[in-house]
């Protein structure tokens, strides 16, 4: 065996070339680590990477663009029953509904004004950061999230942190959850959902909307409607109603 492997020669070589060997080992570790990180981040966005970009997601601050009177709404929260919300089947009873709506109604009409405002407050800074990074209007991001997650109450939002009803696709390699016959992408956190939504709208057919800029919320809303982001006929108009009712367009200036 000594003919083929001489420990003393190996040790001698390592001692004589310790610097080159150490440098090679460090470079190899860096390459392997980057490759591993790249594989992880190809699909499900890393929650630490995203959360580190946001200073706060809990408060609008003193100069809130939201209508002051909205905070005096005394409607009791009405949670959508699990499994009652299907993809883009929203707002059949009108955009904001009333305090007397039955819990069997679908969409935002079953959610209290207080819950809607809490949702918008929670994710305002997230949406602002996503606009600055990807060029999508903050108002569109917030309205899209509010509408598609039913203010965070949709079954897939609770089970999979999916706030935009983004379905599974062939290129999605992350985890998934199913609601009825529909497969949804699963995210480790709500922040990861917002990041994937930005990537989703910045690629493929939706990327054509980026030329509109980060302030043309009406153009974005109509474009999403035309490009079938939703199978709801008047989806773009619903987004515009939400944006103008809550004055979310003011976040596009921040």
Here the CATH number for the domain that contains residue 188 is: 1.10.530.10
Residue 185, strand partner residues: 176
CA distance 58 to 119: 9
* Same-domain check for residues 177 and 52: yes
The pLDDT score that the predictor gives to residue 254 is 78
Query: Number of structural domains, the chain?
Result: 2
pTM: 0.64
Task: Give CA separation, 98 vs 82, 130, 156, in Å.
Answer: 21, 32, 24
* Same-domain check for residues 12 and 123: no
**Residue pair 235/107 in contact by the 8 Å Cβ criterion:** no
Residues in the chain: 254
Q: What is the mean pLDDT of residues 10-38?
A: 67
The pLDDT score that the predictor gives to residue 98 is 31
Cα atoms in the Cβ-side hemisphere of radius 13 Å centred on 236:
14
The pLDDT score that the predictor gives to residue 106 is 57
Q: Provide the angle, in degrees to the nearest 10, between the axes of the packed helices 18-41 and 7-16.
A: 90
Cα atoms in the Cβ-side hemisphere of radius 13 Å centred on 242:
30
Q: What residue numbers bound the domain in which 25 lies? A: 1-41
> pLDDT confidence of 62, banded at 50, 70, 90?
very low
* Same-domain check for residues 66 and 31: no
The pLDDT score that the predictor gives to residue 11 is 72
* Same-domain check for residues 66 and 157: yes
For residue 151, pLDDT over 90 is answered with yes
For residue 3, pLDDT over 80 is answered with no
Q: Among 51-65, 88-102, 105-119, 233-247, whose mean pLDDT is lowest?
A: 88-102
* Same-domain check for residues 212 and 245: yes
**Residue pair 109/116 in contact by the 8 Å Cβ criterion:** no
**Residue pair 132/115 in contact by the 8 Å Cβ criterion:** no
Report which secondary-structure segment, H or E, holds 200. helix 190-201
Q: What is the mean pLDDT of residues 153-167?
A: 93
The pLDDT score that the predictor gives to residue 17 is 75
What is the β-pairing status of strands 176-179 and 182-185? Answer: antiparallel
* Same-domain check for residues 113 and 205: yes
**Residue pair 112/75 in contact by the 8 Å Cβ criterion:** yes
Q: Residue 183 phi/psi, 5° resolution?
A: -100, 130
Q: Strand, helix or coil at 185? A: strand
């Amino acid at each position: 065996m000594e003919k083929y492997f001489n420990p003393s020669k190996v040790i001698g070589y390592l001692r004589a070339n310790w610097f080159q060997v150490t440098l090679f080992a460090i470079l190899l570790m860096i390459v392997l680590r980057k490759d591993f990180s790249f594989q992880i981040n190809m699909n499900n966005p890393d929650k630490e990477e995203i959360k580190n970009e946001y200073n706060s997601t809990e408060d609008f601050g003193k100069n809130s663009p939201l209508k002051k009177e909205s905070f005096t709404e005394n409607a009791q929260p009405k949670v959508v029953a699990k499994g009652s919300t299907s993809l883009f089947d929203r707002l059949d009873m009108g955009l904001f509904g009333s305090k007397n709506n039955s819990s069997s109604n679908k969409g935002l009409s079953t959610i209290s004004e207080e819950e809607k405002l809490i949702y918008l407050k929670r994710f305002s800074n997230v949406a602002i950061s996503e606009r600055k990074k990807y060029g999508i209007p903050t108002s569109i991001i917030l309205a899209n999230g509010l509408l598609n997650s039913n203010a965070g109450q949709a079954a897939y939002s609770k089970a999979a942190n999916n706030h935009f009803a983004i379905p599974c696709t062939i290129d999605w390699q992350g985890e998934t959850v199913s609601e009825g016959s529909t497969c949804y992408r699963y995210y480790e956190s709500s922040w990861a959902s917002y990041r994937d939504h930005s990537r989703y709208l910045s690629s493929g057919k939706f990327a054509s909307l980026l030329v509109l800029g980060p302030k043309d919320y009406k153009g974005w809303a109509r474009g999403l409607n035309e490009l079938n982001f939703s199978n709801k006929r008047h989806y773009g108009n619903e987004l515009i109603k939400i944006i103008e009712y809550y004055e979310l367009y003011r976040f596009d200036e921040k």
